[in-house]
Amino acid sequence: MPKSAGQGLIRSSENYLTVLCLCAAVRLEASGKNFCPGSGSVRMDTHREIQAGVIDTASCESVLGAPLKFLLAVDGSPESMASFDYVVRDLLMRERGAFLDVLHVYDDSKEYLPPEYRREHLRAVVYAKLLGWVSLDRFVLNWKEKTSQVGQMICDHFVENPATFLCMGFRGRKGKKDVRMMTSNIYEVLRLGRKLTLLGMCSLVVFKEPSVQKLPMGRPAKFVVSMSLNKAASKAFLDALRLSKPGDEIHLVYVTFFTEDQESEHVKIMRDRYSHFFEGLGEGDHHVLQKFYDRHIEFRIVPQHKGELIPQTVAGYAESIDADFVVVGTNALRVDRGKEPIGSASLQICMEAHCNIIISSWVDGSYHGSAQIYAEQQRGEVLKNMTPRLMQDHVPPVTG
């Protein structure tokens, strides 16, 4: 896919209202209609469709202002350890109030495992690195013996220890998960993950990159967000903002059908809404959002090529700009309706994308989104189970 594909609206990082306008549910004075961040190949011809993707301002502020907690599942694989290094050396260094919960599920019956996958070796490596970068009150280690499926144990651990982001490696000891996605621990977490959504709006970060040198540390990161008119896609954008740092690029990608006129009426409406959105809101006082003013945000309308599926278009665009993360939204209530945990398009993007992926979901009322709770957070009263704890470890002390 050529790098120049599609047409885009670019706004510099000099106006923090770019962020405010994209993530808050606000009234557009120019058009008199509600705006929601989103696209996909959805027609914007009814108020109901537009309203469907709106996340209210208080919830947006709660998402972006809440303290960060990472639950990191490690198994010794290169991708798993690269994700560990990235979280510790980048995210925890930037977010001084963030907390890390490291989880390892071990099986001592597997005596054939190489040293780097064994619990004693892994514990020593993880603990030594953590002591070199963060203080003791900012992390906890949980080494647990396998008593059920690993995905189930990860979800059970989350129920007792809620987190903002769950991080996992894409490749286990047995290899990559792309051709075995339906039987992987990642998929099991997604299948059981409705608990994760309802208890803490946890998003799943899957690291595909095995080399920590290629992760965006010490350089701007590039996020590609697949947009559609639903709140999960809006939450995907908020997650990209939350994990970004000053100078990072966030590309919001809207895919149109290959048979569609790029100057059709609904495409013009989509482009105009963003344009008015950027230009029409020049005032306001949202101090939480002001700290995201220095991100570079770009909205792209990318045409779908003939014979190409939307996931391939999104993955192709991500590869063309050498993206570090692709962010997709998924409906967390699908499982209750007997469906797979993520839709076919989102699942295909996860398998097609060459880079790391973030899977975001949203259930109305599930995020601690009221203005009162947000105000309490701002006063420093963190949520239950978010208080940093000293080192606790389910591994017996190593003697000798």
Res. 136: pLDDT tops 60: yes
What pLDDT is recorded for position 11? 43
How sure is the predictor about 99, in pLDDT bands with cuts at 50, 70 and 90? very high
How sure is the predictor about 191, in pLDDT bands with cuts at 50, 70 and 90? low
What pLDDT is recorded for position 98? 94
**Over the stretch 339-357, which tens digit does the pLDDT of each residue have?**
554 556 777 888 888 999 9
**Over the stretch 211-263, which tens digit does the pLDDT of each residue have?**
999 999 999 999 999 987 778 888 888 899 999 999 999 998 888 877 666 66
Amino acid at 63: V
Residues above pLDDT 70, as percent of the chain: 57
Residues 6+ apart with CB under 8 A from 218: none
What pLDDT is recorded for position 190? 63
Q: Which range in 10-14, 174-178, 301-305, 335-339 is most confidently predicted, on average pLDDT?
A: 301-305
What pLDDT is recorded for position 267? 63
Q: What is the mean pLDDT of residues 127-139?
A: 95
Res. 204: pLDDT tops 60: yes
Report the alpha-carbon distance of residue 233 to residue 364 in Å, rounded.
13
Report the alpha-carbon distance of residue 260 to residue 377 in Å, rounded.
46
What is the residue whose two structure tokens read 């809101």? 281
Res. 187: pLDDT tops 70: no
**Over the stretch 112-125, which tens digit does the pLDDT of each residue have?**
888 888 999 999 99
What pLDDT is recorded for position 344? 60
Phi, psi torsion values for 15, nearest 5 degrees? -120, 105
Least confident of 23-27, 95-99, 363-367: 23-27
Res. 178: pLDDT tops 90: no
What pLDDT is recorded for position 310? 86
Domains of the chain, CATH where assigned: 7-63+216-361 (3.40.50.620), 68-163+165-200 (3.40.50.620)
Higher pLDDT, 374 or 144: 144
Q: In the beta sheet, which residues pair with residue 226?
A: 253
What pLDDT is recorded for position 22? 42
What pLDDT is recorded for position 288? 65
Res. 321: pLDDT tops 80: yes
Q: Report in angstroms the alpha-carbon separations of 178 from 51, 150, 170, 207, 322.
A: 35, 18, 8, 12, 20
What pLDDT is recorded for position 212? 93
What pLDDT is recorded for position 257? 79
Helix intervals (H) in the chain = 17-23, 47-52, 57-65, 78-86, 92-94, 119-133, 150-160, 185-192, 194-200, 231-243, 265-280, 287-290, 310-320, 344-352, 371-378
What pLDDT is recorded for position 203? 86
Residues above pLDDT 90, as percent of the chain: 30
How sure is the predictor about 173, in pLDDT bands with cuts at 50, 70 and 90? very low
Res. 202: pLDDT tops 50: yes
Res. 389: pLDDT tops 80: no
Report the alpha-carbon distance of residue 90 to residue 1 in Å, rounded.
31
How sure is the predictor about 378, in pLDDT bands with cuts at 50, 70 and 90? very low
Q: Which range in 86-95, 112-121, 326-335, 337-346 is most confidently predicted, on average pLDDT?
A: 86-95
How sure is the predictor about 52, in pLDDT bands with cuts at 50, 70 and 90? low
What pLDDT is recorded for position 167? 92
- Of 302, 308, 312, the residue nearest 352 (C-alpha): 312
Q: In the beta sheet, which residues pair with residue 254?
A: 301
Q: pTM for this one?
A: 0.75
Res. 88: pLDDT tops 50: yes
Angle of helix 185-192 relative to helix 150-160, nearest 10 degrees, comes to 40
Number of H helices, E strands in the chain: 15, 13
Angle of helix 119-133 relative to helix 78-86, nearest 10 degrees, comes to 20
Question: Over the chain, what is the mean pLDDT?
Answer: 71
